[in-house]
Amino acid sequence: MLGAALAPAFASADTGGQRRRSIATAEALYRALTAKDLDAFAAVWAPDAISRMPVTPPGEIHGRDGIVEGIGFFFMVVGEVRMTWQIRPLLNPHEVVSTWTMEAPLLAGGVYRNRGAQIMRIHGDQIVDNTEFLDTAAFLKAFGQQ
């Protein structure tokens, strides 16, 4: 009962349009992945961002440079990236949750298919904290021997 009473007030505490910016930042992340645009991908991450994949290697990456390096490797080993995604704002205007699907041909042969969910905390127009859950078996099948 108390949670229901507090939720509308907390949800409306979005001064300055942060909720809109948070959704737009998440959209920009997925557009950059689909376009394999490393500069656009880097632009959505704060310099000291943390990205966690609790059940998938590498587990946790600290800093924009490390996050960008990891996706740069991905871009080098896949062809066209096809994705679908849905983004939903959370009560905190700095947070969104998203679900996504991805399919990309591997340049060495085969196709990488995965799906996941992630929670992003965003300040301004940059992701400061990301926690992502994806199909670890699919990830390891495609990239475990790299």
pLDDT digits (tens, 9 = 90+) for 71-106: 999 999 999 999 999 999 999 999 999 999 999 999
Whole-structure pTM value: 0.86
- Residue in this structure with the two tokens 């099948």, named with its chain if needed: 141
Residue 32 has pLDDT above 70, yes or no: yes
What span, in angstroms and rounded, lies between the C-alpha atoms of 130 and 127?
A: 7
- Identify the H or E element spanning 100: strand 95-105
CA distances from 43 to 61, 62, 64, 65, 114 (A): 16, 16, 9, 11, 24
From 3.30.70.3420, 3.10.450.50, 3.40.1080.10, 3.40.190.80, which CATH number describes the 17-143 domain? 3.10.450.50
Smallest CA-to-CA distance from 48 within 101, 127, 133, 131 is with 127
